[in-house]
Structure 1
Amino acid sequence: MLSRLTRLQAVAVCALPVVALLATAVFAPLPFAVAQPGMTADVLGENKDTPVITISGAPTRTTRGQLRMTTIEATGPDADVHLGDVVDGWFRTDRAVLPRDSVYPSGDSVKEIEKHNTAQMKESQDAATEAALRYLHLSDKNVKVTLRLADVGGPSAGLLFTLGIIDKLDGDGSGGDLTGGRTVAGTGTITADGTVGAVGGVALKTQAARRDGATVFLVPKAECGDAGSELPKGLRLVPVTTLKSAVDALDALEKGRSGIPSC
């Protein structure tokens, strides 16, 4: 039989690898990114003292209300995320733990990621301009639209850019504001033909929107479930699939009509 001292020594020796594994798990970097609600910006207003939307070649109107594009913020591609960060993120409604490769393409440097996001933003702005001018039947006119939004990349502001251009040029089509004077937020990609696409991170974006005063949130219909998972009180979700469906929903809200789609 082993003496008590011998048994304790044996247990201590066996415990050393376990302790080492636990220490490695706690302190070793993990292949995740932690995201949280990011900034929002009113596309009808200014960003860093510069109008987000500038239009020449056609008369514009003074708008009321806000159209706020939304973002998420994630730990950088070079940031170390540890087990404690992951566990904390799992138990918080204002955090999301995502595979790093789903946020940042594997192997890309910070500069390459910034270049990619900037290119996506430019493509989104071009598509937003074309979609808005097509919708207003101004594609063949000499209308120039300039979109400026500093420190934001990616394509997810496309829908809000498009709605902002329409509001500045035409409003609701009868002299009123597309927003009805509300603070409307949303997200979604846009194509030149007005198709709205999914973007990801919508549950965090709804939180950013409500934090900054929005009462209505336009969400790609395919992401209704995600958007409603942590929906802040006082924020109404309106699912959209096309530019026309978004404009129609805002027009119905402004005029107090029933039958507005919901998630």
Structure 2
Amino acid sequence: MSSRARALLVCTALVLAVLVTAALAPLPYSVAYPGVTANVLGDDKGKPVITVSGVRTRDTSGQLRMTSITATGPDASVHLPDVVRAWFRTDEAVMPRDSVYPVGNNTEEIAEHNAEQMKQSQETATHAALNRLGKSAKDVKVTLSLADIGGPSAGLMFALGIVDKLDGDGAGHDLTGGRTIAGTGTIDADGAVGAVGGVALKTQAARRDGATVFLVPRKECTDARAELPKGMRLIPVTTLDGAVDALKALNSGGAVPSCTGA
């Protein structure tokens, strides 16, 4: 074997070694998938998601579904082949691990953090809904129960569920119009809706579970359009009042906000 051939063989072996090492080395990413959805107007594990006492509630039709994503755990190893595969799939997304798990180093710490965020989200959703309806938390008690799902992104849908159960569209009709409507977004006590991330995967989860309309924080319109399932209509929102008005317009045939050009 000539010295040139020998050098080429060594170089090839080194390149292969580098590629194998890169393929096997864990990367600081998580792979996310469409997660579960839940109808906040219905039951979860045999218990109503929304229970209201101190005031008369309405019977509702249709569904308001909160959405979620599922991601590989903080301790899971994600490698180059996993990342490459996810890039070519519409039902997977590669996300920096720190953006999926911003706090905690193990599943217990993360679960505790997500549970606390969910609790805060439920409290602010209740305040936002009652503020919109001109009701006081002293007179109306709202209990929200949704097991095994954490984080703040269900705030908007919780608030809409409370409004629908107490007031509907204000004229004796359901906010849903009998439809299955899904959505996502944080909410504060004043009713402002915030971005959450993972919306392209959430629209897929929503369509899988029968939704035809998806309420999305306006700032995330572009992400939501990226892998929008066929038959899904996006409605951008920035506030609880805006979301209620959009659903009223959808039911009455009025002008409904669109993500086109957003």
Q: 1:108: Cα distance to partner?
A: 2.4
Q: Deviations over 1:88-120 (max 9, x none)?
A: 011111111011111112662221111111111
Structure 1 length as normaliser, TM-score?
0.95
Closer/same/farther in 2, CA of residues 85 and 249 from structure 1, 3 Å limit: same
Tell me which of 147, 152, 162 is aligned to 1:150: 147
Q: 1:246: Cα distance to partner?
A: 0.2
What is the CA RMSD across the aligned residues, in angstroms? Answer: 1.2
Structure 2 length as normaliser, TM-score?
0.96
Partner residue, 1:260: 256
Looking at structure 1, the residues matched to 165 and 104 of structure 2 have their Cα atoms a distance apart, in angstroms, of 42
Corresponding letter in the other structure for 1:243: L
Partner residue, 2:119: 122
Tell me which of 160, 172, 191 is aligned to 2:157: 160
Q: 1:184: Cα distance to partner?
A: 0.4
Tell me which of 134, 138, 141 is aligned to 1:137: 134
Counterparts of 1:54-203 in structure 2 under 5 Å?
Answer: 54-105=51-102, 108-139=105-136, 141-203=138-200
* Residue-pair matches, total: 259
Closer/same/farther in 2, CA of residues 106 and 169 from structure 1, 3 Å limit: closer
Structure 1: 5+ residue stretches without partners:
none
Contact 2:127–2:137, Cα closer than 8 Å, also in 1: no
Percent identical pairs in the alignment equals: 69
Q: Deviations over 1:210-239 (max 9, x none)?
A: 111111100111111111111111111001
Counterparts of 1:174-253 in structure 2 under 5 Å?
Answer: 174-253=171-250
Structure 1 stretches of 4+ moved >6 Å = none
Corresponding letter in the other structure for 2:194: G
Closer/same/farther in 2, CA of residues 169 and 107 from structure 1, 3 Å limit: closer
Corresponding letter in the other structure for 1:94: D
Closer/same/farther in 2, CA of residues 109 and 178 from structure 1, 3 Å limit: same
